[in-house]
Structure 1
Amino acid sequence: MADFQISTQRAKWIFTPQKLDSMVNQKTVLAVTDDVVLPVSSVLTVMEQLGKERFDPFIITQASTINQFPLDSSSVDAVLAISKISDFPSDKICGEFSRILKPGGTVFVCKTLEGQVEDMQQTIQRRVTLAGFLEPQCLDLKSIKFSTFSLSFGIKAKKPSWKIGSSFALKKPAKILFKVNLDDDLDLIDEDSLLTEEDLKKPQLPVASGCATTKKACKNCVCGRAEIEEKAVKLGLTEDQIENPQSSCGSCGLGDAFRCGTCPYKGLPAFKLGEKVTLSRNFLEADI
């Protein structure tokens, strides 16, 4: 069976005369490489080692120079990429693999590199994962040898089984109502039985006594309130001015720095308007 070659720009692909008709009715395999030549026999050998049937492959060489493969979306069952350089397949080429592969199709990326194999494996796995492929796996291909090259490792990944834009109906989970089975014979604790007689007693508030319950100090005051009121009288303040201080300017309670010369509260500490003026015990006493 003779093979025909057609080239465009720097890229070329090889196909048999029956290829275009067979691609419609049977499974298709696309083989790509960054090299100038990729023998059909090499592609068939690799696919056989990978457990695939012997298909008549569609081959594209120098694929690194192509922006878009000349294939329809979701038209290929499997893609085989064989490369000697680390930059192929690029992220863009991996995206093209995802475009042309049918849902559930498989991509195989085989490398002939030497050294730093582990780093290259991780790089290829990252690229196919970012392209949307699932379950990337490492393959040991050292047993596959050819006259001009030998494979070192491979990466296998699968395209999801759904197409872009597909929709699925989500089944709403049935509402499960929790049932609590109460045994009539079960002994339940009475909440009232947890309280003692002491807990039920009304708390007794302390009885206020002394000057705290009167407007003025007691006759026999011992808490010091009588002395404070006596000092306030010396200042010329009335009882109302002490109990409910008011200010026409609104600044009397801020302190002497804000009081006028005729302010009745001049000399007193700062206080809040409307609240009783409180004098300390040592007020009006000499500091020295």
Structure 2
Amino acid sequence: MTLHIPHPRITTLKGGIVLILWGAGSSPENVQQFSQEVSTHQCSRVVVEHFERLKLSGHAKSTFSVVLSNLLEPHTTTHSFDLLSEVVRIMTPCGIVCGKELSDLRISSNLKLAGFCNITFDSSNSIFSAQTPNFEVGTSSKLSFAKPSVWTLSDALVDDEIELINEDDLLDESDLIKPAAESLRVCGTTGKRKACKDCSCGLAEELGTAQSGKSTTTSAATSSCGSCYLGDAFRCASCPYLGMPAFKPGEKIQLSERQLNPDL
């Protein structure tokens, strides 16, 4: 029996731990003969395993440096992604796997997905070979940009080289004067202190009084917004006057027992 291992990768058998995978149809005599022939290449150890018992055997990761797969007739095994994933797990970094597979397209895709590299396929005898990466499966490495850089000003830079502006210097006397409450009232339609054409909120009368120089003694109904007397359109969701008609500013309003106790 001749070993079907691509040259020069047959030299990797020397001193390595070799796993031989065989499948259904192969006779025990052929398996034993093949194992003995592999041992003549000065291997450190040779392990024989059936495909169906590979996962059940529970081999530790990074155990085998060489895996010979499906090289015994009648070559009935197909190298699925799940099978190759287990093979790459138990192989050492830079390990070699050689095997026989009838479909070059399928084996190439499965080998890549499982994590193998340097894949070759000899179409003349349907023998493939591949190599594991030079790191163990599951190895992680922190990327150099994993921690973001934080831009800061050092104390020396702030004190010696940068002249900071005093915020108070940006204000003048007019900015410090508290505006009158009347000047803050604007029209809900125009968004400005200018009454709209069909003003009904009293802003037009207020502006007219201010222009004539006369003061008004009309006081708004007591509320947080000062517009409850104008009707529901000007009332907030929690206003106790909801549902009531508009009333005149300063008019005494009598609330019902239900309105005074909304939880009843």
TM-score class normalised by the smaller sequence: 0.3 to 0.5
Greater C-alpha radius of gyration: 1
With normalisation by structure 1, the TM-score equals: 0.40
Structure with greater helix percent: 2
